[in-house]
Chain A
Amino acid sequence: MVDHFLKEHMDGSPEFTPEPIYNRYGDSIEYLSANEATYAERVDSVLTLYRAIDDDRVVGFKIKDVAALMRELGHDGILLGQETRKNEIVSVAVILFTAFNAAQEPEGEKDKRIRGYLSALQNIKSPKVELDDICV
């Protein structure tokens, strides 16, 4: 295969680390428990599940709009710059619960949403995420 176009900008070897990560550009928490191709299945405006491309099993999820969820949890003081609270450790389960309550969805989707959130909770092996650059 042709070398990856970003190879020269990367250090060391690629690693698979099944831990939740905070994507500061997308203000989302992402978690993948398998190093394989996935497709996204939107549960609601906040939660997206990742399913394995070859057998459709749930192998991860993404929680969007984390800054707003953190405000829901009372973390008003987390700011960029000098006032950033570094290495904030937050339970992903708590964020998922807050997301379930915060997402605005039409009536009739509740059962589907509950199944989606349960799938996310059952999938995660590392229950906490480090929020080191969150901007509220």
Chain B
Amino acid sequence: MYECLTVDPNNPAGPRIEAFIPLDRARQIFKTNPIKFEHLRCVKQILEHPLHIYEGIRDKMEGGWCYVGRPLEWAIKEGVIAPFPQDKVFAVYLRSNMTVFDWQAEQTEEGESSCPKDWRQRYRRRVWSITS
């Protein structure tokens, strides 16, 4: 597991805690989708500097978190780096034990450009925002 520090979703004002990127998951992506592997750079950046944290991400998954932010740039094709689009956010999904299991760009909510689309329907609640 690769470890990086992030905001504690249970105690956002407290000390940072470790989040984990499973190396076998990273290797799986390395050997199937190199661009998504490149986006692990965004994962690290979002975990270090999230804008929002949501909890209750799936009906059939106990707990779990979604960290959302906006990286400055990202890989769009092999060897091509571009600014991250203004009309998207980058979401990092973690299990309740803080293990990262997925990451992706998503459309934004109308009128809330730093939030993922339909977040009120998709997640149980927002637990933290950088402005809160």
Contacts and interface: CB of A to CB of B under 8 A. Distances in A.
Interface in A31-59: 32, 35-42, 45, 50, 53-54
Interface in B37-77: 37-41, 44, 58-61, 74-77
Contacts of A4: 37-38, 40-41
Interface in B16-39: 21-23, 25-28, 30-39
A7 to B, nearest CB: 9
Contact of A32 (B2, B36, B102): B36
How many A residues are at the interface, by size bracket? 35 or more
Given A36-B35, A37-B105, A21 B28 contact: yes
Indicate the member of A19, A27, A35, A62 with the most B CB atoms within 10 Å. Answer: A35
Interface stretch (B7-15, B93-101, B124-132): B93-101
Indicate the member of B36, B39, B76 with the most A CB atoms within 10 Å. Answer: B36
Interface of A: 1, 4-6, 9-12, 14-17, 19, 21, 23, 25-28, 32, 35-42, 45, 50, 53-54, 62, 64-65, 67-68
